């Protein structure tokens, strides 16, 4: 990989009349995130122009959006997307759920820091002013980036958690959503996988089926996303991709 070579090739694709879009696609898709950042810096130092500005002036529409997205460091991309999801008339709940349910503590903390630097207000403030009720509380909880990331499974606690979830949902009239949030948004992954197993034995159904029958709307989507990300993050994204095109 030579950052200088790629930078020159990109310049060539955009110089003069017309733009060689195929060349831009070929160059950028074969690089990883950090290589693209190196190309960005090298482009400026060897050509004396801003690559993002050049791309924006040459491209348009969704193609421009995806290329600029690829050129943006992952954390900053998340920050921009969260802001877009919260700003303006409607709220893009799907975007909020997808990012906050799937990122690690470290990633969430980095998002929080950069969000504040970028917009002069905290992510939590924007979530609180733009969402409501239990859905808001789940997002705020996820946005603290405070989940236990250990690997310890306390079997007695797993039994207790599963029983708690059962009693908070299937067993009673109405649903105690706070219990679901407290367990699903704070426990570590191996522990939750154990809880889900035990839960199936107690309730005779999968935790996802219980969430679907006990909750609705954004809250249901958010808690389902948390469970799916805990079980298998790539499968969660595969499903998101499938639904986006179906």
CATH 1.10.220.10 residue window(s) in the chain: 3-71, 74-144, 155-244
For residues 89 and 5, the model is more confident at 5
The pLDDT of residue 172: 76
Which CATH number applies to 3-71? 1.10.220.10
Burial of 173 (0-12, 13-18, 19+ CB in 10 A): exposed
The pLDDT of residue 16: 82
* CATH among 1.10.220.10, 3.40.50.1100, 1.10.10.10, 3.20.20.10 for 74-144: 1.10.220.10
Architecture of domain 155-244: Orthogonal Bundle (1.10)
pLDDT tens string 175-209: 788 999 999 999 999 999 999 999 999 999 999 99
For residues 172 and 103, the model is more confident at 103
Query: What crossing angle do the helices spanning 3-14 and 21-29 adopt, rounded to 10°?
Result: 160
Q: How confident is the model at residue 91 (pLDDT cuts 50, 70, 90)?
A: confident
The pLDDT of residue 18: 86
């Amino acid at each position: 990989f030579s950052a200088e070579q790629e930078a020159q090739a990109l310049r060539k694709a955009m110089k003069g009349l017309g733009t060689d879009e195929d060349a831009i696609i070929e160059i950028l898709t074969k690089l990883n995130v950090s290589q693209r950042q190196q190309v960005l810096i090298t482009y400026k130092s060897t050509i004396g122009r801003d690559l993002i500005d050049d791309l924006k002036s040459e491209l348009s529409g969704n193609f421009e959006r995806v290329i600029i997205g690829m050129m943006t460091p992952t954390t900053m991309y998340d920050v921009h997307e969260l802001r877009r999801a919260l700003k303006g008339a409607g709220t893009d709940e799907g975007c909020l759920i997808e990012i906050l349910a799937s990122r690690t503590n470290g990633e969430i903390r980095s998002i929080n820091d950069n969000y504040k630097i970028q917009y002069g207000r905290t992510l939590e403030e924007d979530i609180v002013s733009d969402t409501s009720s239990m859905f808001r509380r789940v997002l705020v909880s996820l946005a603290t980036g405070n989940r236990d990331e250990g690997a310890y499974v306390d079997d007695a606690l797993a039994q207790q958690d599963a029983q708690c979830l059962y009693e908070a949902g299937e067993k009673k009239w109405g649903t105690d959503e706070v219990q679901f949030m407290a367990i699903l948004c704070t426990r570590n992954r191996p522990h939750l996988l154990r809880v889900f197993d035990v839960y199936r034995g107690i309730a005779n159904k999968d935790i996802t089926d219980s969430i679907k029958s006990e909750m609705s709307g954004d809250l249901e989507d958010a808690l389902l996303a948390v469970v799916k990300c805990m079980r298998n993050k790539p499968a969660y994204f595969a499903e998101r991709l499938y639904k986006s095109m179906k």
